[in-house]
Amino acid sequence: MTQRGRIFVAELVGTLILVVGGPGTAIFAGRFVGGTLGVAFAFGLSLLCAAYLFGSISGCHINPAVTLGLWALGKTKSEDVPVYLVAQIVGGALGGLVIWGILKSSDVAGLDTKAKFAGASNGWGSHSPTGFAFGAMVITEIVLTALFVLVILSTTRKSMPAGFTGVAVGLMLTVVHLVSIPIDNTSVNPARSLGTAIFAKSWALDQVWGFFVFPIIGAFVAAFIWRAVVPAEDA
């Protein structure tokens, strides 16, 4: 298999792991694992495991915002960007399909598959878990994506201790979810957002554009900060 083929498979499977592990926990086990705390750790642990599984193959971006932030700094080749993005979108959709298949294969009385997915989808206004408005979502997604991508960028430093990259990014994703699940169910990742929205009620797809635009803006903010503050010899 070519290197790009390996990147495609790694990013697809890694994104699937994230969607099954994160939204899957929210849909199937949220009330059993402590609600917000358990779901936040599920996202973080999913990323941590995927990072150690695929980090040496593709860098384990499993997030279009991460890929574009790294590309803005020249850390991802332009010709590889489409491979990453397509794999992530397909992997997110397949992760959602796995969850959908489990739900549809069940005979639980009163089970509403679209409602289950809606509860794990991102939204604002009446679709925010606690009623936060559009502006709150914009600030949340830009700022938290920027901080998340900065932590990911820190793992590419020459001075980064070997072996700790998965721990750093996994714990940061956990923190991001602890902060923002009550605001908009936490995106910081367009592929994750689309992975649940396509199986949810129609409002989720109507609002999913915001969870593409603002995380990507946040990633570019992170790239700007990184370029400004990190010495070239350590970048």
Q: Could you give the angle at the alpha carbon of 69 between the alpha carbons of 63 and 74, nearest 5°?
A: 125
Which has the higher per-residue pLDDT, 92 or 35? 92
Exposed e or buried b per residue across 106-116, where buried means at least 16 C-beta atoms within 10 angstroms of its C-beta: eeeeeeebeeb
Dihedral sign, Cα of residue 6, residue 8, residue 11, residue 14: negative
Instruction: Return d(Cα 163, Cα 145) in angstroms, integer.
Output: 23
Residue keyed to tokens 């705390």: 37
Q: How far apart are CA 85 and CA 189, in angstroms?
A: 11
The rounded distance, in Å, linking the Cα atoms of 49 and 140 is 26
Q: What is the mean pLDDT of the chain?
A: 94
pLDDT of residue 20: 98
Question: Average pLDDT of 206-228?
Answer: 97
pLDDT score recorded for residue 164 = 81
Here the tokens at position 123 are 């939204």
The per-residue pLDDT for 233 is 75
Task: Give pLDDT, residue 225.
Answer: 96
Q: Is the pLDDT of residue 91 over 70?
A: yes
* pLDDT, tens only, 58-86: 999 999 999 999 999 999 999 999 999 99
Q: What percent of the chain is predicted at pLDDT more than 90?
A: 86
pLDDT at 234: 72
**CA–CA distances in Å: residue 56 to residues 6, 10, 16, 50, 163:** 11, 10, 18, 11, 11
| Torsion region of 35: left, alpha or beta (phi above 0 gives left; psi -120 to 50 gives alpha) | left
Q: What is the dihedral of CA 84, 85, 87, 91, to 10 degrees?
A: 130
- Residue-wise pLDDT for 195-216, tens only, equals 999 999 999 999 999 999 999 9
In this predicted structure, the answer to whether residue 189 has a pLDDT above a threshold of 90 is yes
Backbone φ/ψ region at 184: left (φ over 0), alpha (ψ -120 to 50), beta: alpha
Q: What is the pLDDT of residues 124-181, one digit of tens each?
A: 999 999 999 999 999 999 999 999 999 999 988 877 777 788 899 999 999 999 999 9
- What is the pLDDT at residue 156? 84
**DSSP codes joined into one string, 215-227:** HHHHHHHHHHHHH
Least Cα distance to 118 among 175, 185, 58, 178 occurs for 185
pLDDT at residue 158 in the model: 77
Opening angle at CA 47, ends 28 and 134, nearest 5 = 70
Distance CA 58, CA 94 (A): 19
Rounded average pLDDT over 90-115 = 91
pLDDT at 53: 95
Domains and CATH numbers, the chain: 3-229 (1.20.1080.10)
Q: Is the pLDDT of residue 109 over 70?
A: no
Tokens of 17: 């792991």
